[in-house]
Amino acid sequence: MKISNPADGTVITEVTADNATAVRRKYELARAGQPKWARVPLKKRLATIANFRERVVTMRETLARTLTHEVGKPIRQSRNELNGVLGRIDFFLAESAATLRDEKVFADSGQKLLERIGHEPLGVIANISAWNYPYFVGGNVFVPALLAGNAVLYKPSEFATLTGIHIAELLHDAGVPRDVFVPVIGDGMTGAALLRQPVDGVFFTGSLATGAKIAARAGERMIKVQLELGGKDPIYVCEDVDIAAAAAAVADGAFYNTGQSCCSVERIYVHESIHDAFVRAFVDEVRGYKLGDPMDETTYIGAITRRPQLDVLKKQVADAKRKGARLLIGGNIVKRKGNWFEPTVLADVDHSMALMKDESFGPIIGIEAVADDDAAVDLMNDTEYGLTAGVYTKDERRAKRILARVNAGTVYWNCCDRVSPRLPWSGVKHSGMGLTLSTYGIQTFTRPKAWHLKSAS
C-alpha cells in the first residue's frame, strides 16, 4: 500500500497491508492475549498507559511531523493534537479506577443479601479509525479500552497508517503486550476482513456510508457497535454579539484543520440585522488565512487529505452558485501539486443547496440570514445529522432556551469546534450511536455484570 503526501502528491513510502489470512492471525493473537491482560492489576495497566503518555511527550515533534506529512495538517495543528491527547490520557488515568470499581448497590443483613455491579471487559474489540484526528479519535477508544482490560485490534485509516504504526510502537514500548494492542494495516478491504472475525465489539469513527455497513455487519453478529460519524454542525449568531470577535471565532471553527473535523462549523445562521456586517468581518478574517506548505509554521490552511473530496467541494460550490448563492471568496481547486482547495465563503445560501445539507468536510462554508430565534432553530434542526450546534449571544438565558431545542449530542454557548474529555462525545440521528469520553466513555468498554450474593450462614 502506497502512503502519499497529500500536500505534493509524492509517495512517502510503501507498507504491506494485511490480507484476510494476516487479519485472522492477528485476531487469534489478540484473542489469546486478552484474558492475560484482563488479569493484570489495574494499577499496572494504568502505569503502562502513563508510560505511553511519557513516550508521546518525548516523541512529540517526530509524531507531529509524520502526521503532517501523511495527512497534510498544518504542523502547528498537528502539535496541538498531540498536546490535546495528553489531556485526554490524563483524564482516563485519573478516572478509570473509580469508574471500573465494583459497585455495591444493595445490602440487607436480615436477608443476608448483597447486590453488586461488576464491570467486565468486552473482550477483543475492533477499533476502526479515521484519519482527520488519528490521535484523538483513536485514543478516545484504545486508551480506555485497554485500561478496562480489553485487547484492541486497531485499524488506523489508510490515510494515517504511519501514525497508526507509531501509536502501536509507542504502546508496545510502554509495556502493552503485542498480543493485546494489535495494529491491523490496510484500507476498507482490510477493515471488512477484520469485521469477519468474531470480535466482541466494534468501535468505529468515520463516514456515514461506512458506518451503515459496519452497523449492518455488527447486527448480524449481535455484538456491541459504536459509531462516531459525520456532522453538518450549525452556529447561530445573534444580533447582540461583538461582531468581529464572533466572526473570528466562528471562522476558526469552520476552517481549523482545513475544515476536516467532524465538529467543524458547516453552516452559519446570522440574525438579519447584523448579517451584512458579520459577513464582511467573516470574509476579512478568512482573507487572512495562509494556505501553503503544511510544514511551514505560519500555515493555517493545509492540504485536503483525500483527493476525491476536491470534487465534492467543487460540486457543492457549483450547485450553490447555480441556485443563487453569492461567492464571496475562494471557490476553486488550487492549481499546485497535491490536493488543495481555496478557503471559500458563500452568502445568500438556503437549504435547497447541498452546501447546507451534506457534509462538506473541507474549507467551505455558507452563511444564511435568519429573522429570529425560531427560524434559526428550525434551520439548525433541518439536517439528517446531530453532532454539535452552537449559539453566539451575550444573553445566557436566550442561549440556553435555543440550545435546549436543538437536537445534537453537544451544544455550545459562545464557543464551537470544542471537545472536552470530561463530557460525553456522541451524536444523534446520522451522527452516530454510542459515545466516547467522560466516565461513560470508560464504562462503554465494559459489560456490567449483576452479582446477587446470598450468604448461607
CA atoms within 13 A on the CB side of 129: 31
Among 131, 282, 392, 412, binds ligand NAD (CB under 6 A): 131
Among 4, 34, 132, 383, binds ligand NAD (CB under 6 A): 132
Kindly indicate which of the ranges 16-24, 44-52, 186-194, 410-418 contains the residues binding ligand NAD, using the contact rule CB under 6 A. Answer: 186-194
End-to-end alpha carbon distance in the chain: 65
Q: Which is nearer to ligand NAD, 46 or 428 (CB)?
A: 428
Provide the minimum distance between the beta carbon of 204 and ligand NAD in the complex, in angstroms, as a whole number: 7
What angle (nearest 5°) sits at the alpha carbon of residue 98, between those of residues 94 and 104? 175
Grouping H, G, I as helix, E, B as strand and the rest as coil, residue 389 is: strand
The pattern of x and - marking residues 394 through 433 that bind ligand NAD according to CB under 6 A reads: -------------------------------x-x----x-
Q: Is 207 in the site for ligand NAD (CB under 6 A)?
A: yes
Provide the minimum distance between the beta carbon of 432 and ligand NAD in the complex, in angstroms, as a whole number: 6
**Torsion sign over Cα 211, 311, 285, 351:** negative
Q: Is 188 in the site for ligand NAD (CB under 6 A)?
A: yes
Q: Is 258 in the site for ligand NAD (CB under 6 A)?
A: no
The residues annotated with a catalytic role in the active site are 228, 262
Q: Which is nearer to ligand NAD, 244 or 433 (CB)?
A: 433
Please provide the DSSP assignment of 88-156 as one string. HHHHHHHHHHHHHS-EEEEEETTTTEEEEEEEEE--EEEEE--SSSHHHHHHHHHHHHHHTT-EEEEE-
Q: Which is nearer to ligand NAD, 1 or 42 (CB)?
A: 1
Query: Which cell numbers hold the place of 350?
Result: 438556503
The pattern of x and - marking residues 261 through 300 that bind ligand NAD according to CB under 6 A reads: -x--------------------------------------
Other residues' Cβ atoms within 10 Å of the Cβ of residue 297: 9
**Separation between Cα atoms, residue 380 and residue 233, nearest integer Å:** 8
Q: Is 157 in the site for ligand NAD (CB under 6 A)?
A: yes
**Separation between Cα atoms, residue 135 and residue 163, nearest integer Å:** 8
Q: Is 137 in the site for ligand NAD (CB under 6 A)?
A: yes
C-alpha dihedral, 228 to 436 to 294 to 11, nearest 10°: -60
Among 33, 121, 138, 191, binds ligand NAD (CB under 6 A): 191
Site for ligand NAD in 52-111 (CB under 6 A): none
What amino acid occupies position 208?
L
Kindly indicate which of the ranges 64-72, 97-105, 201-209, 235-243 contains the residues binding ligand NAD, using the contact rule CB under 6 A. Answer: 201-209
Q: Is 236 in the site for ligand NAD (CB under 6 A)?
A: no
Kindly indicate which of the ranges 81-89, 187-195, 347-355, 397-405 contains the residues binding ligand NAD, using the contact rule CB under 6 A. Answer: 187-195
Q: Is 210 in the site for ligand NAD (CB under 6 A)?
A: yes
**Separation between Cα atoms, residue 153 and residue 143, nearest integer Å:** 13
Answer yes or no: are the C-beta atoms of 329 and 286 closer than 8 Å: yes
Among 24, 116, 172, 213, binds ligand NAD (CB under 6 A): 213
Q: Which is nearer to ligand NAD, 37 or 255 (CB)?
A: 255
Residue facing ligand NAD at closest CB distance = 191
Using CB under 6 A, count the residues that bind ligand NAD: 32
Q: Which is nearer to ligand NAD, 121 or 441 (CB)?
A: 441
Answer yes or no: are the C-beta atoms of 353 and 324 closer than 8 Å: no
Q: Which is nearer to ligand NAD, 34 or 197 (CB)?
A: 197
The pattern of x and - marking residues 339 through 368 that bind ligand NAD according to CB under 6 A reads: --------------------x-x-------
Q: Which is nearer to ligand NAD, 313 or 387 (CB)?
A: 387
Q: Which is nearer to ligand NAD, 135 or 278 (CB)?
A: 135
**Separation between Cα atoms, residue 453 and residue 298, nearest integer Å:** 63
Per-residue burial over 35-57, b if 16 or more Cβ lie within 10 Å, else e, is: eebbebeeeebbebbebbbebbe
**Separation between Cα atoms, residue 236 and residue 286, nearest integer Å:** 18
Please provide the DSSP assignment of 235-304 as one string. EEE-TTS-HHHHHHHHHHHHHGGGG-STTSEEEEEEETTTHHHHHHHHHHHHHTPPBS-TTSTT--B---
Answer yes or no: are the C-beta atoms of 84 and 64 closer than 8 Å: no
Q: Which residues bind ligand NAD (CB under 6 A)?
A: 128-133, 137, 155, 157-158, 187-188, 191-192, 195, 205-207, 210, 213-214, 228-231, 262, 359, 361, 387, 425, 427, 432
